[in-house]
Amino acid sequence: MTFNFSVSPSFPNERISDWYIFNTWLQRALSLPIHLELYDSFGTQRAAIAEGKVDIIYANPFDASLLVREKGFRAIARPEGQPDEMVVITAAESPFKEIPDLKPGARVACSDDPSVNTVGRILLEPADLNAANTVEHRRETYIQVAREILRGEADVGFLPVEAFEALSSIVRRDLRVLVTSQVHVIHHVFLIGPALSPHAEQITQLLLSMHDTDKGRGILEALGARSWQAVQHEDVEFMIDIISTLTQ
Amino acid sequence: MKDMDRAQVPGEAVEHTLTFADGTCRRVFVTSVETPYPHGKLIVSRTDTSGVITQCNKSFVDMSGYTEAELIGQPHCILRHPDMPAAAFADLWKTVQAGRQWHGYVKNLRKDGGHYWVYATVVPNVRNGEIVGFTSVRREASQEKILAAEAQYRSMN
Ligand SMILES: Cc1cc2nc3c(=O)[nH]c(=O)nc-3n(C[C@H](O)[C@H](O)[C@H](O)COP(=O)(O)O)c2cc1C
């Protein structure tokens, strides 16, 4: 039986090949057939999850909630270091100095990343802005979100901090951060589903010691991580409780 | 719960005696100083099933004015402000004990007698089908929502 591995589409396109390299490393180290399936949107990946087509996944925190609470997945590791944070950006020249300056009718550029959008929406609440009194511009990529702002087609945009920092300095010069989230407790996690649970221990040990070899370190670095850290089941339950307060 | 220490409250303050749902009382001193919400942050705490604080994040500690050691092990009503109507918390407890989420605007009392407003959500922590505690996550509220809550609470008190 071949197991299916997937990765939340929240990573930059340049990393696609790095995830294939990771998958090759994983298969070899485990001596298990694992197929990497990448989805180009959060929606198509969610549909695949619902159909039981995913056995192991590097999931964004919002999908992790669904997988753990409803699909019997178990979190085994998370990347060391920075949690997932996002920024609300505006044009450097825009009249908005802080969130409460925004008015109903504001145009919001965003991707379809559920984590970033949920936190971004919360950060607009101090201006009493919500889905009903704003105009949302959904874009395929983070670059397109930034471009909407630069062209004056949107008033604010939502980006993961990582994606904002990856923009060229020329682009960033014309943008301004209105607010940066400091949620701290929310992060991506590696999850395994019921079909792989007999191998849970082996996979966990493999990930946690990945940074011990040059080869493993090289792959991690390409993926923007230093090492994988163990997660306690209760830590993930706590993260899910927090997410549930953000998505009501 | 211990009365508030007047020496910790700078400047002019009004004295109140709070009566909690369990009949116990606490003397507090209240100033009119509002501490603004820290933009972008979430204020998080957890309690056991009886409302005793078991865990909190740095924003929670910073906003309360207490040290973490002074907060852990204390009942959550250590933050109770006299302007908050008892009915709001009765509704909170009824809702979360029934396994549902509660949200509302809350004015909290700081150790220095000042206050801060939040929009709070409280959820039960359900593990293996059982409620083992509660988590509250607060976020920044708009000025308009705060004014409306203030007026509503005044009419309830
Ligand atoms: C998770 C959780 C968080 C709470 N947070 C607050 C809070 O921030 N401020 C507050 O006054 N009461 C809070 N409460 C409610 C208190 O437990 C308490 O009901 C309230 O302060 C009124 O006191 P009383 O119920 O003893 O009369 C919280 C309760 C729970 C379960």
B47 lines ligand 1 (CB under 6 A): yes
Identify the H or E element spanning A180: strand A175-180
B118 Cα nearest atom in ligand 1:
8
B106 Cα nearest atom in ligand 1:
9
Please identify, among A141, A158, A180, the residue that sits at the C-terminal boundary of a domain: A180
The type of residue at B2 is K
Is residue A61 over pLDDT 80?
Answer: yes
Is residue A248 over pLDDT 80?
Answer: no
For the domain that residue A153 is a member of, what is the CATH number? 3.40.190.10
CB neighbours of residue A33 within 10 Å: 9
Is residue A82 over pLDDT 80?
Answer: no
Domain ranges in chain B?
6-156
Per-residue pLDDT, B62: 96
Residue B92 C-alpha to ligand 1 middle, in angstroms? 8
Is residue A12 over pLDDT 80?
Answer: no
Residue from the list A99, A182, A241 with its beta carbon closest to the beta carbon of B123: A241
pLDDT for A149-167, tens place per residue? 999 999 999 999 989 998 9
Same domain, yes or no: A8 and A78: yes
Which tokens belong to A108?
């919001």
Rounded Cα–Cα distance for residues A45 and A51 (Å): 10
How many separate domains does chain A show?
A: 2
Helix axes A16-30, A214-222, angle to 10 degrees: 150
Per-residue pLDDT, A84: 86
* Residue-by-residue DSSP string for B97-136: HTT--EEEEEEEE-TTS-EEEEEEEEEEEEETTEEEEEEE
Q: Report the length, in residues, of chain A.
A: 248
B122 Cα nearest atom in ligand 1:
1
Contact B137 A246 (CB under 8 A): yes
Higher pLDDT: B104 or A114? It is B104
Please identify, among A180, A202, A229, the residue that sits at the C-terminal boundary of a domain: A180
Residue (of B126, B131, B125, B141) closest to B55 by Cα position = B125
pTM: 0.92
Which tokens belong to A237?
């339950």
**What domain range includes position A172?**
86-180
Residue B150 C-alpha to ligand 1 middle, in angstroms? 18
Is residue A130 over pLDDT 90?
Answer: yes
Name the CATH superfamily housing domain B6-156: PAS domain (3.30.450.20)
- Looking at every residue in chain A, the average pLDDT score rounds to 94
Same domain, yes or no: A161 and A120: yes
Rounded Cα–Cα distance for residues B44 and A246 (Å): 12
pLDDT for A196-246, tens place per residue? 999 999 999 999 999 999 999 999 999 989 999 999 989 999 999 999 999
Find the farthest-apart pair of alpha carbons in chain A and give their distance in angstroms, rounded: 58
Partner A contacted by B103 (CB < 8 A)? yes
- ipTM exceeding 0.85? yes
**Would you place residue A14 in the very low, low, confident or very high pLDDT band (cuts 50, 70, 90)?**
confident
Which is it for strands A56-59 and A156-160: parallel, antiparallel or unpaired?
unpaired
Q: pLDDT by residue for chain B (157 residues), tens digit each? A: 899 999 999 999 999 999 999 999 999 999 999 999 999 999 999 999 999 999 999 999 999 999 999 999 999 999 999 999 999 999 999 999 999 999 999 999 999 999 999 999 999 999 999 999 999 999 999 999 999 999 999 999 8
Same domain, yes or no: A132 and A67: no
Same domain, yes or no: A176 and A191: no
Which tokens belong to A135?
């105009």
Residue (of A33, A28, A37, A35) closest to A9 by Cα position = A37
Residue (of A186, A119, A244) closest to B96 by Cα position = A244
Same domain, yes or no: A62 and A101: no
Rounded Cα–Cα distance for residues A168 and A60 (Å): 25
B79 lines ligand 1 (CB under 6 A): yes
Same domain, yes or no: A121 and A236: no
Highest-scoring range by mean pLDDT, A2-11, A176-185, A229-238, B70-79 = B70-79
**Would you place residue A247 in the very low, low, confident or very high pLDDT band (cuts 50, 70, 90)?**
confident
